Structure 1
Amino acid sequence: MAQIEYYFSTLSPYAYLAGTRLEDIAAKHGASVTYKPMDILALFTRTGGQHPSERHPARLAYRAQELPRQARKAGMTFNLQPAHWPTNAAPSSYAIIAAQNAGGGDLGALVHSILRACWAEERDIAEDEVIKDCLEKAGFDPGLTVSGLLTGAETYAANLEDAVAANVFGAPFYVVDSGQSFWGQDRLEDLDLHLQGKL
């Protein structure tokens, strides 16, 4: 059974646009997924990237076209300039880590719910009530926002180190135990083909 390490940020518009396709692909191939939320801005600093606000105007202009285009292609609601972005990604990331450790709910649904809250619903994913709502709707104990803080913080920091060691430099990033890596929601088809043995 293939193992996929999924590196992402709860602030990433591209992770949002991936929807639940990763979970569909994993289910199709009987693959397991380890969710590894990480500090994307710290990752950029470590791997040669830049904060979006520091990028060249040409890159920002392309991003402004590409994100809505990809949202339309996926049939997803999307706000290019959400009211609560950027915000603190740590609380939502800690909750995802705690939920993964606790089990019993739908982790993919939780991750997508948090991303959707930011990019489509104008909600602040740093707020406790928003995170609790997402946890509860995905079948998890909303109390994980409190009980998972310490372990969440430790794992969140470790995920960044793991990402750097695995040559991850953006989000979403999918690393398969075969040694193959796939960057971006637009490479999910390639991930699917790889798991089929065709790529």
Structure 2
Amino acid sequence: MANIDYYLGMISPWSYLAGDRLEKIAARHGATITYKPLDLMQLFDRTGGARPADRHPSRNEYRNQEIPRWAEFLNMPMQMKPAFFPTNMAPSSYAVIAAQQAGGGNIAGLVQGFLHACWVEDRNIADDDVIRDLLTKHGFDPKLADSGLLTGADIYSRNLDEAVQSGAFGSPFYIVRETGQRFFGQDRLDLLDRHLASL
């Protein structure tokens, strides 16, 4: 059985566009997924990337064409200028980390719920009420929004260190533990699928 480490920023448009394809691929191959939310801006800083606000205009102009192209291609609703973007990624990340450790709910649904809330619903995923609502909707105790803060903060920081050490540099980033094969971007999911089929 393969194990996939999924590094992501909770406000990444590309992670939103991945939808539930990773989960379907993992289910098809009997693979497990460990969600590893991290501070995406610090990941850019530490791996030679540039934060969106610091990129050359040509790069941002291309990004502003490419994101809606992919949304249309994937038939996914999406707003290019959500009301709460960028927002603090830490609170939603802590909630995902705490929920994953607690178990008993739909962790994939929770991750996708946060991304959908940001990019479709104009909700602030750093807001405590939004976090509690999404935890509840996906089968988790809403109190995890508070009780998981200390553990969440520690693992959130460790996820960043692990990502840098493992060769991740953006979001979504998938690493198959058993082979060390790395896949960057929602447009590499078909290649991940092929790789898992070869194991």
TM-score by length of 2: 0.98
Instruction: Report the counterpart of residue 168 of structure 1 in structure 2.
Output: 168
SS of equivalent residue, structure 1 residue 140: coil
Instruction: Report the counterpart of residue 181 of structure 1 in structure 2.
Output: 182
Match runs of 1:1-199 below 5 Å: 1-177=1-177, 178-197=179-198
Q: Which amino acid in the other structure matches residue 18 of structure 1?
A: A
* 1:91-112 per-position Cα deviation (integer Å, ceiling 9, x unaligned): 0000000000000011100000
SS of equivalent residue, structure 1 residue 111: helix
Distance 2:134 2:112 in 1: 9
Distance 2:58 2:88 in 1: 27
SS of equivalent residue, structure 1 residue 45: helix
Q: What is the Cα deviation at residue 4 of structure 1?
A: 0.2
Q: What is the Cα deviation at residue 74 of structure 1?
A: 1.0
SS of equivalent residue, structure 2 residue 175: strand
Q: Which amino acid in the other structure matches residue 110 of structure 1?
A: L
Unaligned runs of 5+ in 2: none
* 1:40-78 per-position Cα deviation (integer Å, ceiling 9, x unaligned): 000111001111011111101100000001011111110
* 1:82-130 per-position Cα deviation (integer Å, ceiling 9, x unaligned): 1100010000000000000000011100000000000010000000111
Aligned length: 198
Distance 2:108 2:74 in 1: 17
TM-score by length of 1: 0.98
Root-mean-square deviation over aligned CA pairs: 0.8
Distance 2:189 2:170 in 1: 15
Q: Which amino acid in the other structure matches residue 197 of structure 1?
A: S
SS of equivalent residue, structure 2 residue 139: coil
Distance 2:90 2:161 in 1: 15
Distance 2:25 2:129 in 1: 31
SS of equivalent residue, structure 2 residue 95: helix
Unaligned runs of 5+ in 1: none
SS of equivalent residue, structure 1 residue 64: helix
Q: Which amino acid in the other structure matches residue 70 of structure 1?
A: W
SS of equivalent residue, structure 1 residue 105: coil
Distance 1:40 1:24 in 2: 25
